[in-house]
Chain A
Amino acid sequence: MTRWRALPLAAMVLAGCDTVMTLPELDRPVSTTPPEVPEVPAGFEQPAPHARAIRLTLAQWENTVQDLLRLPEPTGFSSELPQDALPAGFLFDNPADTLGVDQTQQEGFARAAARVAEHVVTDPARLAAILSDGAADTGRSLDERGASLIAALVPRAFRVLPDDVDAEDIAALQALFVTGQTAYDEHLDDPFVGGVRLLLEGLLQSPRFLYRFELEPTDGQLARVSATTMASRLSYALWNTMPDDALFAAAGDGSLDDDAGLEREARRLLASPRAKAQLERIFEAVLEAKKLDDVRPSPELFGDAPVDLGRLAREENRRFIAAILDEGGSYTDLLTSTSTFVSADTAPLYGLEGAFGAEFVRTELDPSTRRGIFTHLGFLSQFATSSDPDPIHRGVFLAKNILCHPLSAPPDAIPPLPPAEAQESNRQLVERHTQQPGTSCNACHATYINPLGFPFENYDAVGRVRADDRGLPLDTATSPLLDEVVSVAGAVDLADQLAASRAAHVCLAKHFIEASLGRANHLEDDVWTARLGEASRDGDSLEEVLVSLFLSPGFRLRSPVELAVEGQP
């Protein structure tokens, strides 16, 4: 039997082939001994180096606690956990190679574990919800009841199959249950409850709960991840929480090991509102929607704009993305749809008349001026000053987040835009300031940035269509770099050309991979992202792109290459 081997970096860089590697059919694996997998030829998709101890994000901690303990609603205790130190430049909250547990966090997790344990055992209904039949049977001995609870709870807490729980861990947890029986003043008359409480405190502080471990041996070779690892990867990618019972069952019966079983589970999860919510969060991160909270148009210039424009625009964004997902839409739909959600507050900004109420309703917009999410109020007001459209930051955002063009940072001490001269438009002012031939500014602004921002000069700082630019004719025609330099007439044209470009769809695939695996893109991902991007460009729905992602070698295998160690203690 052959194995897939890690390829030298050079081979991966040079690989430009779009060929798709189909995973071989495998016998049902034993979780501790992954099956051998065949050799991967150069140019094929393969996994990139990846953390193997992956700490839960704070949101994942909250969701996992709720699901593990079958609570009807979140505890909310994650809000009391110290915020993670997130590296600058990564869009999502789950950089697996960064998240750890320092003193502050360890104490926070300990406090939160204690809060959760108290929350559960002091409420009879909550306590009953976690008890197995054996644990609930008061006719049994304390030891038997504790063992039953541990057998039922621990595999789920550690996200492994029952047979895979380490015997030493079981023994340590049983000891914890015993200690707990006499360790709380308030439970001295009910030692079982005390035992459960300390067991929960310990479980929730256990590294096997706080981290997802992917310990499949690689032996210098590519290795297929175990069924339980796959279940967790899938569940956290789509639901941001631990696998549910059905997914655990699929991991246990081997159905995650073949394409059909994995696809079935992926589609089941995708059909849930939890997946929709997760995808909305991913798009919120890509769109940097949090910045909308800071939108404050000048009251002097835009006195008729809603004072909470940012909040309204964020809600519009959220509903628009949700609708695309609900309808099985594609990324092209997101980029080119001529509809959005409008309320009475935002209708005037779209130039709409009619009976709009406080509720947002799906509304067709004028296709000659509005096309796709970047012609909506969110993007346009988010990247604007209080008074003017901001073509520079619109361009930077599109270049970095939508096309994944690697822009270098601007030099220090950039002089501000000078005042506009008489008879000088906003565009002319920006061009004068940033596109002087021979300057360092010109290199990026003329090619990468400004041509992506100028097409939106027909919208003002609150996203309304405008007729002129400081009394001068609008000029929205530019030549941005997409896959190549193209000519666009304006924002609507740019939306179509973005949707037709390879770069935008490959960039989407990169974001999906980053968000799903919690790591930045690597060169090894290029073949993978090219294929997913091409499928997206061809019209595959967002859901289909994700299913394809999960069925890919990059998601189902792990690299033998270690992550680089950043920094020294």
Chain B
Amino acid sequence: MKITTTTTPTTTSMQTLTRRRVLRGLGGVALTLPFLEGLAPKKARAQQAVGDGFAVFFRQANGVAQQSGSEPERFFPRTLGALTAESMADRAVDELSAYRSKLLILRNVNYGSYNWGDGHAAGALHALTARPPVVAGAGGSAEAAGESIDHRIGRALNDSGRESLFMYAGRGGGWLNGPCISYRAAGVRRSALHNPLTAYQTLVGAAGGLSPEATERLVRRGQSVNDLVRGQLSRLMGSPSLSQADKRRLELHQQAIRDVEVRVGCRMSEDEERLLAEQAPGFDSTDGDETLQTARLHMDIAAIAIACGFTRSVAIQVGVGNDGFTRYRNLDTGAVMENYHFISHRRLSHGGDGEVIAGADLQHHFVDRHFGRTFKHLLDKLAEWPMPDGGTLLDRGLAIWYNDNASGPPHAVRNVPWILAGGAGGFVKTGQYVELTPGSTAPNHGRLLNSIASAVGVRKDDGSPIDDFGDPALNRSFLDELRA
């Protein structure tokens, strides 16, 4: 039995209905709420909990409004090299200007070239896996043929076998069937935490605040139930009537059973919990404002999850495979625009037909800015945690805003936007706009994923960067352009 505590539980009678509601069901008890750990000095919490590097992947679909055909450049900085106010002005990345010195904006990120049968699958299923499809040409039924990097990083760096966090914002179903970027293995997608409230409950576990006797009882209950479940699973897995596929799923279940953890240090402040309770219900929405607010709540949870040592890897997906349900707001008029997929096609259609949307590239740019602002929220949250060396939590890892595709039409996968923030403890250069593998259009994205994982701490036994992630048919070596 393992009990993980990051702060000594104390008891208090301070309770609010909202907090009780947020925490209902944790450990099966109506918890006596503790002293508000969220109000404790953050420095103390960070010092106690933070390990080494981490990665947070924030995914946007459908490309960006970059230079394509007759459409002007609206996304990338004007010039390679050091990022300046001038180079970022009026471009979507300008939303991140407050963090200019901490950014590494990449140019010429090229995905592998495979027959996915669909431009969205070629990005959504490939971007974090660097793998081909399981079945070539399967289009909307495609699956990626390998583990995703967020899962790999979590598997390598998280304590006690805790899987990386995978969270999803927006309406489910639809193209590629909702959450689709994170894979446990070839063809095996991971379930996503959709409701931020559920994600938070997953994070805090049994959040403490109980007397030692009550804590002991809580632990005993959890242990008793786990003993029952483990025993049954063991006996069932011995059944000769089960297929290997069945047994694999039961093994996954058995590995998923975790002892009761009391993660007091993972609690939000009272205000944050109240906000979470108020805004979480908008998680299954087609409204762009609600969807991105859900993503922000997920980011709040991601930041605290990293700070308290719950995970060192997070993936946040916004929208289905083609983000075809979500309608974002026009930044000039405030009106709700057509669904994002239509805008990315520049037409009133999920296909190639339909009426042309006037000014769609500018509308796409507005969507890019929405995502930029949302990504900035993540950076803000990570930067709230001071570190002993004078930096912040943000500096210790990599927050990454990436896209499935390069641009709207034609959803190509050459020069796909990837923006890295934080520098991974000085391992990765910052304040720069860099072209990867200059002059080459060959796939380099597998190298990028290996490099990101290496930068945040996944290494070979000898300490050198890994080069074993993604399609082995491609070059997977470290990208020196990233090194500080």
Further pairs besides A298-B355, A388-B354: 9, Cβ < 8 Å: A205-B229, A207-B253, A388-B353, A408-B139, A413-B412, A430-B353, A562-B244, A567-B185, A569-B251
B162 contact from A101, A103, A202, A562, Cβ within 8 A: A103
Q: How distant is B95 from chain A, measured CB to nearest CB, in Å?
A: 28
Interface 1/0 per residue, A61-93 and B, CB below 8 Å: 000000000000000000111111111110000
Q: In the complex, which residue of chain B has the Cβ closest to the Cβ of A198?
A: B221
B137/A409 in contact, CB under 8 A: yes
Q: State whether the Cβ of B472 lies closer than 8 Å to any Cβ in chain A.
A: no
Residues of chain A within 8 A of B355, CB atoms compared:
298, 385-388
B258/A390 in contact, CB under 8 A: no
Quick one: which of A278-301 are within 8 Å of B by CB?
A: 290-291, 293-294, 296, 298
Residues of chain B within 8 A of A298, CB atoms compared:
348, 355
6 nearest A-B pairs in the assembled complex, by CB-CB distance:
A409-B139, A409-B117, A89-B141, A114-B28, A385-B354, A85-B189
Q: In the complex, which residue of chain B has the Cβ closest to the Cβ of A122?
A: B30
Q: How distant is A168 from chain B, measured CB to nearest CB, in Å?
A: 7
A412/B354 in contact, CB under 8 A: no
Q: Which of B8-16, B80-88, B173-181 contacts A (4 or more CB under 8 A)?
A: B173-181
A408/B245 in contact, CB under 8 A: no
Residues of chain B within 8 A of A86, CB atoms compared:
177-178, 189
B246/A563 in contact, CB under 8 A: yes
Size class of the contact patch on chain A: 35 or more
A88/B141 in contact, CB under 8 A: yes
Q: In the complex, which residue of chain A has the Cβ closest to the Cβ of B26?
A: A111
Q: In the complex, which residue of chain A has the Cβ closest to the Cβ of B255?
A: A103
Q: In the complex, which residue of chain B has the Cβ closest to the Cβ of A409?
A: B139
Q: State whether the Cβ of B195 lies closer than 8 Å to any Cβ in chain A.
A: yes
Q: State whether the Cβ of B473 lies closer than 8 Å to any Cβ in chain A.
A: no
Bound complex: CA of A176 vs CA of B224, how far in Å? 6
Q: How distant is A428 from chain B, measured CB to nearest CB, in Å?
A: 12
Residues of chain A within 8 A of B250, CB atoms compared:
53, 100, 207
Q: State whether the Cβ of B187 lies closer than 8 Å to any Cβ in chain A.
A: yes
B233/A207 in contact, CB under 8 A: yes
Q: How distant is A347 from chain B, measured CB to nearest CB, in Å?
A: 26
A88 contact from B180, B248, B253, B345, Cβ within 8 A: B180
A416 contact from B241, B251, B253, B347, Cβ within 8 A: B347
A216/B139 in contact, CB under 8 A: no
Residues of chain B within 8 A of A88, CB atoms compared:
140-143, 176-177, 180, 321
Q: List 27 A-B contacts (CB under 8 A).
A: A52-B241, A53-B242, A80-B201, A87-B143, A89-B138, A102-B256, A106-B253, A115-B24, A118-B30, A183-B217, A185-B214, A202-B224, A206-B232, A208-B236, A214-B241, A293-B286, A386-B338, A390-B351, A409-B116, A411-B117, A412-B117, A413-B410, A415-B352, A416-B347, A562-B243, A565-B244, A569-B185
Given contacts A85-B189, A102-B190, A411-B117, contact A419 B221 (CB under 8 A): no
A172/B231 in contact, CB under 8 A: yes
A387/B348 in contact, CB under 8 A: yes
Residues of chain A within 8 A of B410, CB atoms compared:
412-415
Give the interface of B toward A (CB within 8 A).
24-30, 115-119, 122, 134, 137-143, 162-163, 166, 168, 171-174, 176-180, 184-195, 197-198, 201-202, 205, 213-214, 217, 220-221, 224-225, 227-229, 231-233, 235-236, 239-246, 248-253, 255-258, 286, 321, 324-325, 338-339, 342, 345-356, 409-412
A115/B163 in contact, CB under 8 A: no
A412 contact from B119, B179, B180, B193, Cβ within 8 A: B119
Q: In the complex, which residue of chain A has the Cβ closest to the Cβ of B113?
A: A412
B217/A182 in contact, CB under 8 A: yes
Residues of chain B within 8 A of A82, CB atoms compared:
191-194, 198
B242/A52 in contact, CB under 8 A: yes
Residues of chain A within 8 A of B117, CB atoms compared:
408-412
Q: State whether the Cβ of A227 lies closer than 8 Å to any Cβ in chain B.
A: no
Interface-central residue, B142, B249, B250, B346, by most chain A CB under 10 Å: B249
B186/A567 in contact, CB under 8 A: yes
B122 contact from A105, A175, A412, Cβ within 8 A: A412
B172/A83 in contact, CB under 8 A: yes
Q: State whether the Cβ of A457 lies closer than 8 Å to any Cβ in chain B.
A: no
Q: How distant is B168 from chain A, measured CB to nearest CB, in Å?
A: 7
B28/A117 in contact, CB under 8 A: yes
B197/A80 in contact, CB under 8 A: yes
Give the interface of A toward B (CB within 8 A).
49, 51-53, 55, 79-89, 97, 99-108, 110-115, 117-118, 166, 168-169, 172-173, 175-176, 179-180, 182-186, 197-198, 201-202, 205-208, 213-218, 290-291, 293-294, 296, 298, 385-388, 390, 392-393, 408-417, 419, 429-430, 433, 562-569
Could you count the A-B residue pairs with CB atoms below 8 Å apart for me: how many are there?
308
B197/A87 in contact, CB under 8 A: no
B246/A101 in contact, CB under 8 A: no
Bound complex: CA of A387 vs CA of B347, how far in Å? 10
B198/A386 in contact, CB under 8 A: no
Given contacts A111-B25, A207-B253, contact A387 B354 (CB under 8 A): yes
Given contacts A409-B140, A412-B411, contact A102 B225 (CB under 8 A): no
Secondary structure type dominating chain A contacts: loop
A392/B233 in contact, CB under 8 A: no
A172/B195 in contact, CB under 8 A: no
Interface-central residue, B173, B191, B235, B348, by most chain A CB under 10 Å: B191
Bound complex: CA of A529 vs CA of B236, how far in Å? 33
Q: How distant is B337 from chain A, measured CB to nearest CB, in Å?
A: 11
B353/A417 in contact, CB under 8 A: yes
Q: In the complex, which residue of chain A has the Cβ closest to the Cβ of B229?
A: A205
B232 contact from A172, A184, A217, Cβ within 8 A: A172
B189/A433 in contact, CB under 8 A: no
Residues of chain B within 8 A of A169, CB atoms compared:
232
Q: How distant is B69 from chain A, measured CB to nearest CB, in Å?
A: 11
Given contacts A179-B221, A201-B221, A412-B411, contact A567 B162 (CB under 8 A): no
Residues of chain B within 8 A of A393, CB atoms compared:
350-351
Residues of chain B within 8 A of A215, CB atoms compared:
239, 241-242
Q: In the complex, which residue of chain A has the Cβ closest to the Cβ of B214?
A: A185
Residues of chain B within 8 A of A89, CB atoms compared:
138, 140-141, 177
Q: How distant is B169 from chain A, measured CB to nearest CB, in Å?
A: 12
Residues of chain B within 8 A of A197, CB atoms compared:
28
Residues of chain A within 8 A of B166, CB atoms compared:
104
Bound complex: CA of A419 vs CA of B244, how far in Å? 54
Residues of chain A within 8 A of B256, CB atoms compared:
101-103, 105-106
A294/B324 in contact, CB under 8 A: yes
A207/B232 in contact, CB under 8 A: yes
Residues of chain B within 8 A of A414, CB atoms compared:
351-352, 410
Bound complex: CA of A31 vs CA of B195, how far in Å? 42
Given contacts A172-B228, A416-B346, A566-B187, contact A184 B241 (CB under 8 A): no
Residues of chain A within 8 A of B184, CB atoms compared:
102, 567, 569
Bound complex: CA of A101 vs CA of B163, how far in Å? 13
Bound complex: CA of A509 vs CA of B26, how far in Å? 44
Interface-central residue, A79, A87, A99, by most chain B CB under 10 Å: A87
A183/B139 in contact, CB under 8 A: no
B353/A85 in contact, CB under 8 A: no
Bound complex: CA of A351 vs CA of B174, how far in Å? 32
Residues of chain A within 8 A of B242, CB atoms compared:
52-53, 215
Bound complex: CA of A411 vs CA of B239, how far in Å? 45
B353/A207 in contact, CB under 8 A: no
Residues of chain B within 8 A of A117, CB atoms compared:
28
Residues of chain A within 8 A of B235, CB atoms compared:
166, 168
A101/B236 in contact, CB under 8 A: no
